[in-house]
Structure 1
Amino acid sequence: MRGFVLCDNCEGPLTACWSISGSAQKKRPPYYQCPKKGCASYGKAIRRDGIEGEFETMFKSAQPQP
């Protein structure tokens, strides 16, 4: 979905990234973030599960036109 999800502030496409976690298990959860410098959301990470979960809910509720 990278490139299709837009930033709420600048309306530019979000990019995908992996967290740098300090856990012993070396888990690196996926995130989306705004790459545009100067944007209020620049560098703020949003969990991929949240965005993709909302998209799945929206997609399931979509009804085709006759």
Structure 2
Amino acid sequence: MTVASNVKQCLATIKNIEAQLSSLALNSLEKDAQSAFHDACVSIGNVKKDLQYRVLELERLEPQYKGS
């Protein structure tokens, strides 16, 4: 598996985690739990942005990875 494939797979996993944390925040009954899940979701969102940027950089620098 190439570096680009690994980064894209990691990005897909991060998106899934972000969605799960968001769902947990919405469905939690306790305010502390909602806050904790929301904070984790925001943090994972920042990681997601960094990975999306890295994917764009990989595709720019290595055109063979574009769209794969």
Of structures 1 and 2, the one scoring higher in RCO (CA 8 A, sep 6+) is 2
Higher helix share: 2
Q: Given the two structures, how large is their TM-score scaled by the length of structure 2?
A: 0.34
Q: Given the two structures, how large is their TM-score scaled by the length of structure 1?
A: 0.35
Higher strand share: 1
